[in-house]
């Protein structure tokens, strides 16, 4: 028996300009730190761009101007893959020491994080065509990631918890991506998810619903083992905070995981930080991961 440990994505590994490939150097740092911490399902650290620019810099129909991205044409799949080179490098580098997941920023978050340019063919932020075009482009990337050998895919939708969104369209868009691949797909929504959890429970193709519990303990109130099992979902439990640049007390992390295992069942739990670790100091991020993995192992020992 073991608890799967993973990360949400971003990691505070800084590119070094003097390196031949500064960003590849940063990816290596991120991967090495995850491996040293003992994380079982790792990411490439998302060191090249922020979670929005990873996609708006490459997908036709988006345009990046300075720090802001705009929709200037119909969103279409990229002719050239733009995520898999880093993933292939990581898969080769870890040599089976850990599993690797690909990460996609979800349609709602991509749309709500960009402006509508004057040449946009869409009528506004409620235009279903916009979300489905983004979903089609992301579905192509998901398929490419699967062919590149990822062991899982994560769809990030932080906007679900902070802004009203068209739930029926969001469901269709996420399912278009998730049902296009055979590897397990997680949907990550950080923040307070009490108002939207029941909505996302029946998203087809999603095997793990991933949320923050360290900073948002109230999220426990809306989730039950019965709900998870009725809908065939596992729950990703964020057990270390990613908004505070200090290391938590080990016993605090244990209490969160014990509560999760008691309420949801150990077989239904995946362990990870609340969100991405990008804003933290690297040594603090690394120590949080180490304590998280240690706590997960301790919980398993207690259950045996």
Predicted confidence band at 34 (pLDDT cuts at 50, 70, 90)? very high
What's the average model confidence in pLDDT over 14-26? Answer: 85
Domain 4-303, architecture per CATH: Alpha-Beta Barrel (3.20)
Kindly tell me if the per-residue pLDDT of 139 is higher than 80.
yes
Kindly tell me if the per-residue pLDDT of 287 is higher than 70.
yes
Report pTM.
Answer: 0.97
- Burial of residue 164, with CB atoms counted within 10 A of its CB: 0-12 exposed, 13-18 middle, 19 or more buried: exposed
CB 102 within 8 A of CB 83: yes
Which pLDDT belongs to residue 304?
Answer: 63
CB 92 within 8 A of CB 142: no
DSSP letter (8 states) at residue 6 = B
Kindly tell me if the per-residue pLDDT of 163 is higher than 90.
no
Q: What is the pLDDT of residues 193-237, one digit of tens each?
A: 999 999 999 999 999 999 999 999 999 999 999 999 999 999 999
Q: In what order do the strands lie in the sheet with 185-188?
A: 4-5, 269-272, 234-238, 208-212, 185-188, 152-156, 99-105, 41-42
Task: Give Cβ neighbours of residue 246 (< 8 Å, ≥ 6 apart).
Answer: 284
Look-up of token digits 């990229």: 78
Of 19-33, 130-144, 169-183, the one with minimum mean pLDDT is 19-33
Kindly tell me if the per-residue pLDDT of 49 is higher than 90.
no
% of the chain with per-residue pLDDT over 90: 92
| Cα separations in angstroms, 65 against 53, 105, 131, 184, 204 | 10, 19, 21, 35, 35
Tokens of 46: 């998302």
Q: What is the pLDDT of residues 254-275, one digit of tens each?
A: 999 999 999 999 999 999 999 9
Helix-helix angle 22-37:84-94, to 10 degrees: 50
Predicted confidence band at 165 (pLDDT cuts at 50, 70, 90)? confident
Q: What is the pLDDT of residues 63-118, one digit of tens each?
A: 999 889 999 999 999 999 999 999 999 999 999 999 999 999 999 999 999 999 99
Degrees to nearest 5, angle at CA 92 with 89 and 93: 85
């Amino acid at each position: 028996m073991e608890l799967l440990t993973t990360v949400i994505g971003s990691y505070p590994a800084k590119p070094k300009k003097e390196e031949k490939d500064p960003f590849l150097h940063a990816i290596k740092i991120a991967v090495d730190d995850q491996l040293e911490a003992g994380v079982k399902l790792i990411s490439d650290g998302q060191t090249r761009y922020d979670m929005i620019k990873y996609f708006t810099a490459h997908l036709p129909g988006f345009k990046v101007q300075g720090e802001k991205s705009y929709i200037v044409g119909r969103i279409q799949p990229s002719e050239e893959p733009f995520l898999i080179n880093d993933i292939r490098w990581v898969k080769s580098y870890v040599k089976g020491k850990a599993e690797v997941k690909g990460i996609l920023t979800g349609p709602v978050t991509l749309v709500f994080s960009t402006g509508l340019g004057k040449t946009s063919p869409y009528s506004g932020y409620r235009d279903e065509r916009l979300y489905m075009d983004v979903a089609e482009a992301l579905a192509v990337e998901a398929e490419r990631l699967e062919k590149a050998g990822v062991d899982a895919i994560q769809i990030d939708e932080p906007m679900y918890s902070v802004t009203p969104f068209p739930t029926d369209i969001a469901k269709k868009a996420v399912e278009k991506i998730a049902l296009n691949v055979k590897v397990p797909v997680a949907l990550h929504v950080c923040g307070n998810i009490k108002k939207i959890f029941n909505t996302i429970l029946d998203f087809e193709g999603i095997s793990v619903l991933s949320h923050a519990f360290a900073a948002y303990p109230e999220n426990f109130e809306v989730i039950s083992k019965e709900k998870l099992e009725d809908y065939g979902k596992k729950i990703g439990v964020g057990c270390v905070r990613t908004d505070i640049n200090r290391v938590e007390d080990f016993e605090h992390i244990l209490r969160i995981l014990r509560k999760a295992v008691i309420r949801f069942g150990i077989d239904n739990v995946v362990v990870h930080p609340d969100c991405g670790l990008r804003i933290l100091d690297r040594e603090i991020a690394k120590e949080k991961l180490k304590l998280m993995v240690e706590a997960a192992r301790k919980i398993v020992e207690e259950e045996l």
